[in-house]
Amino acid sequence: MESKEDIFLLKLIQEDDKKAFRYLFDTFFAPLCRFVRLYVGEHTLAEEIALDVFTAVWEKKHTIEIKHSWKAYLFQAARNKALNHIRESERFVAVSDWSWYKKAETDYAVELKELERFIEEAVYALPGLCGDVFRKSRLEYLSNKEIAERLNISVKYVEAQITKALKLLRKHLGDL
């Protein structure tokens, strides 16, 4: 269920396009570091693990399979590497000492819920027809043609409203 951008980016990277790989790195390195830090608790170690993920992507670029999205792939790979690191470096730690791990999982879940709430608020704050069109597209999974028929507007107008909604959401959500 890859997006066209994910497929295109994978193809470029498989063709040894360093600019495409750099784009992937620039887009996801910082978020991966923050994510891994929830597991390992240390910024430098989190950066090392994130770098390992990108190194593995480059080394396995010809055989890599992206089933959902680059984001999902990279975050899962980072999680696995972080957990492997924890297993390797702390094999003899008592189970009771893993409370920080549960806290990291809980903190991450709370952050994710908060982010989802923030996005939901932004979507429902979209003005009038723009918001209606966007919600029908993204929440009800209607095609542009179905939306146009239901709202008695043209498909081009639906596309324009979705584009407008995405611009407003990017502006509203900023660096999130």
> Which pLDDT score is estimated for 46?
85
User: In sequence order, which residues have a C-beta less than 8 Å from that of residue 132 and are 6 or more positions away?
Assistant: 151
92 pLDDT above the threshold of 70: no
Nearest to 53, CA basis, from 26, 34, 80, 72: 80
> Which pLDDT score is estimated for 96?
54
Mean pLDDT score of the chain: 83
User: Would 1-100 and 113-176 be classified into the same CATH topology?
Assistant: no
Please tell me which of 6-15, 84-93, 128-137 the model is most confident about, judged by mean pLDDT: 128-137
Average pLDDT over residues 82-101: 67
Where along the chain do its domains lie? 1-100, 113-176
The whole-angstrom separation of Cα 84 and Cα 7 is 28
154 pLDDT above the threshold of 50: yes
> Which pLDDT score is estimated for 32?
86
Question: 1-100, what's its fold?
Answer: Rna Polymerase Sigma Factor; Chain: A (1.10.1740)
The whole-angstrom separation of Cα 161 and Cα 19 is 32
User: In sequence order, which residues have a C-beta less than 8 Å from that of residue 155 and are 6 or more positions away?
Assistant: 144, 145, 148
Q: Is the CB of residue 27 less than 8 Å from the CB of residue 54?
A: no
Q: Does the 113-176 domain belong in CATH 1.10.10.10?
A: yes
Looking at 22-36, 56-70, 102-116, 144-158, which range is the least confident one?
Answer: 102-116
> Which pLDDT score is estimated for 5?
79
